Structure 1
Amino acid sequence: MTWADKLEEVRFAWLDPLTPTELLVPGDLLSVEGLDTSGIWNPPRPLPTEGPCSGVGSCLQSPSSTAQVTVEVVPPNVAEGKEVVLLALKLPEKFSRVDWFRGYLLPANNIVLLRPNPGNITKGPAHSGKETLYSNGSLLIQNLTIGDTGTYYIQVYTVNSDIIYEEGQLHVSELSPKPNIIANNSRPVEQEDSVELTYKPESPNTTYKWFINTQLVKPSTNLKDTGPYECETSNPVSVHHSHPFNLTILYGPDTPTISPSKLNYSLGETLSLSCHTDSNPPAQFSWFLGKKNLTSTQILSISNLSLHDSGSYSCLVSNQATQLNKTAVINIRVSESVAPPSILASNTTVTEGADPVVLTCLTNDTGVSTQWYLNNKDLQPAERRKLSADNRTLTL
């Protein structure tokens, strides 16, 4: 048994240690360290090392009793500057006194005590002016600060001289601040640089989540994911989102494309070629005919084409920020206009299954190609029709 098990009631005119100007009334309990039943002072035994009485020279332990008291913290998570109620539940129907303590059950830690008869409430040394004790034993604490975090004990004296205590844990949290996103590289290059996004300000006991396009950021996120990014900060009492943050990513140019894809032009026509690519910042364009620099615009236009305009045209796209460039090539052929051809048939009147018919395409133009059509559709060689090597002659 510990020294606390030896405590006995003392029914003399003792001064209340919490309110020295008041005498203890009959039924009040006074714990005296080292006092035995004979009233003779004995040295105290070792003190408990755990619980609300650890290190306390004078502490009341709850004797065996069927009475129970519980403490419910409402709300369970509370923000700085708000208020909380420590609800005292399952109190005995009749009790002689209720005390609230902040921390260990020491007189100096007493916040407030209630004597139901005659309904007297006395503020203790630990009362800060923010606490209000209700007649049902519950304790209201207003204008909370982080310093109010801790363990609170209620100690109840029953009319049967039993002492019951219970604890409640109060945790006060700061409101998480609205985060602001900062990037360590304002102009990263795709597939070359990395970017670190951080939030400011930092806040203790805070959980952070990152979102891109309202979706949680995945480890596979790459620099083409420009955003918007958002940071969410949360703690038990608040949730905040940063303003959307978009990355400016430098990339490209991609391999360009040239349009239209038309390759053959006639003398006197106009050539208009457009070059397209994806790049940030926008690419610069240069057109070449062979090695000759023609223009530095996205669109190349040449009117009244001549035979000398035939050749290999290339579009060079470049990005000064990424120091990259790409090229696309198209081969243009300019030809003289051809006169309408005519067809010479070896026989215009034929009999099915008789001798073959030879059709010849006649033209005075040179360097031209020949194509045969049947009912406005390309005519291809088949079992009973043959084309000459230059396509000038069709045998049926």
Structure 2
Amino acid sequence: MELSSVLPCKGCISWQGLLVTASLLTCWHLPTTVQVIIELVPPDVVEGENVLLLVRNLPENLEAFVWYKGVTNMNLGIVLYSLDTNLRVEGPEYSGRETVYRNGSLHLQDVTQKDTGFYTLRSINRHKEIISTTSIYLHVYSFLWSCGPLSTSAQPTIESVPPIIPEGGSVLLLVHNLPENLRSLFWYKGMIVSNNFEVARHIITMNSSVLGPAHNGGETVYSNGSLLLHNVTWKDTGLYTLRTLSTDMKTELAHVQLQMDTSLSPCCNPLNSSQLMIQPIPQYAAEGESVLLQVHNLPEDLQAFSWYKSMHSALVLKIVEYSRAMNSTTWGSAHSRREAVYTNGSLMLQDVTEEDAGMYTLEILNRDFKIDKADVHLHVNIYISDSKNSTSSAQPTIESVPPRVAEGGSVLLLVHNLPENLQALYWYKGVIAYKNFEVARHLRAMDSSLQGPAHSGREALFRNGSLLLYNVTLKDAGFYTLRTLTTDLKAEVAHVQLQVNTSVSTCSNTPTSTQVTIESVPQYVAEGKSVLFLVHNLPEDLQEFFWYKSVYRTDIFKIAEYNRATNSTIWGLAHSQREMVYSNGSLLIEGITEKDAGLYMLETLNKDYKIEKAFVQLHVNSNLGNSLLQVSSSRISIESVPPSVAEGGSVLLLVHNLPENLQALYWYKGVIAYKNFEVARHLRAMDSSLQGPAHSGREALFRNGSLLLHNVTLKDAGFYTLRTLTTDLKAEVAHVQLQVNTSVSTCSNYPTSTRVTIESVPQYVAEGKSVLLLVHNLPEDLQEFYWYKSVHRTDIFEIAEYSKATNSTLWGLAHSQREIVYTNGSLLIEGITEKDAGLYMLETLNKDYKIEKAYVQLHVNKPVTQPFIRIIDTTVTVQSFVVLTCFSADPGISIHWIFNNQSLLLSNRMTLSPQNCQLSIYPVRMEDAGEYKCEVSNPVSSKTSLPVILVVKNE
């Protein structure tokens, strides 16, 4: 049988006929050794872009080749091409977007997520032999970040808890760093994102989960993204993939490896004993250490193997290739000179860094040209050596809000610095974490709370660990203890003192007035200072008292012991030479350090040998001097999207840099944060939003602080104010101006045309330049006007005061020597800095003493830096594929391409990525040769890259 007999004329055969012929050829002719290479150009492709599956080293004397989707199923054929007759036969997977070329390459246009998967090329020579079968994996991204500034936010990671599980047990795949603007998440069995392998998905907006085809009945997915597996079997082992999708349609992938029972090498299960496996030794490596990726069950008929720093077999990610026949090693592009490869397939990495973490793939080829793959996840811990210090630097702390509460009121015990890998938390009444005193607990994996024996029915526990107490009574006063347990089974304890009404020492009428109490003077002490633990109500019949740096009566924690009969003090093991004890029981500690923070206990013994205990907590603030700097380093800003909106449209007031320890946020209409102007508020602890008096029914407030306005009218134009309140009670204010349709100054047809308005010229100003705040419609009967660097009429913010009668200017406290005031009310500011950004207010006073105010916002931008162009090869051939990528370190930029010093005119062979940062040309022609540059710009500046010369040669 000859292939030509199956291809007599165009369109005269069916795909099934070709399958029969191909299967017969496969039986008659064993494959010979031909190494065909397929390369994705570009390596990363986004939905809507084009990709070329570029074939290299295609054998000579071919009669035909065939492309199909998948690895083994030829029923998923795309296209068959006969080189003798130039005949193309389309298969069932042909979508009309594919183009096949004589060199074997396959071009896909306008790719979608459905195009993700394996593609296989099989070639047949004139002797009717199938001489090569080569596959490649194509992953289509919904968002590509590679040519813009990288996001600094933490990527999702997954932790197996416990790391290794016995058969029949349960394991939690615990997710960290989920994006705040999460829309949905998907779990897959394996490393491939495919519908067939989907275990489950969770949709955030509906708070519902949907099971997938790979669900076996033993998995549970939680709203925090974690996946719980019950009754684990050997079939459950291997890699799991989590895919997240955010509200801005950004997608991220994370992987985790589920390991069962013991190390994988002596696999006792006969079903899996021949499976190729990799074991990292050690499982968790610290930076600077070495790790061995040990291979088990390497086939005896091995021909070659390759290692990749990825889960995809891409040339640019290849570390090494080993040939057993030649006993030779060829290093790839991803070789860092720190790897060593062994003939048993194992790979040694020396001096690992954080960048080495991630997925590694081993691909093997046996004598039957069967390809097998195994994957392993390398974990690199960057702070193992400093674990003690790192833990102490961010210990949980608790704040009582308010610090004192009246009987019948409510109080929030607000928790800070909860560990990221939290597994569970427990609240106790008192200083001892004892079961009978447990108020409530929260289990993070199940996102559920349970009440304890000490729960009074007036406590509410939140997901962030905070505890709210309603209708507080005097019995509620005292210490509360929070115990946290992390996924690595580390426990930490924090305490807080709840003070009801007034200090106990003044409550002489209450039954608790005779109790011993301790007051910290001052309540919060800075490092290096002194603190006095002032004791009240010491018993008159006192015999002895003892001070401990703990809540337990243990000798190693004893600071001092005082005997009244002998008026003597005996120092204990916890004495640091900085303490002083007084006969009234008080304790003075000098030269306070951060290590002194925590609970202290005073134990008294009277003549009847009755023991009484009292506790006090020492709060040490180590960063008081830097608090202002920390706040200013990441100020809140608001962006109007779009910058100007037409009547009837919608606009999003998008918030950037919300503080991590946010407690509440408030939106106001106008520049004053006044209750009557409140649009809405959001309370983070309760995760709830409330509408304010100024809410029109057309506003929607999101958890990230952003405010969406629907059906905008001219009345909505003007300033909006956002006020944030953090858990440490720091408040911050940001403003944004909503512009409806056109600028207010041009709206001469509206009644507001006679109002005073201010125009920033230019609207966006670069650092070091000048800006004119140009005033329109200044009243003719003007007496005076005032400029303020604020929205408040306060002396410290006053820049200048002008009197028309005397034609004189008085400079205020906010004058920086860079301002000039004009008689028409305008203000010129020279030598602009980033600190000048913000709201300015002009206040006018006419002859009737009528006061009018106008506002303007000054936007300050930094000039952009010079971009650069990356290209894999500056010399290409006609009909090939080339990708140019423009890189810039600046956010919020526009990108423009220049060809031979003129704006690039895009042809139908050219494609730009969604951000214009990637230019693809296919097929390349001679006229594409020349000089390419990219220009980046923001509202105040632009920079052009150095040129890249593209040389085009004939084949």
| TM-score bracket for the superposition, by shorter chain length | 0.3 to 0.5
Q: Which has the higher helix share?
A: 2
Give the TM-score taking structure 2 as reference length. 0.21
Q: Which has the larger radius of gyration?
A: 1
Give the TM-score taking structure 1 as reference length. 0.45
Select the structure with the greater relative contact order (CA < 8 A; seq sep ≥ 6). Answer: 1
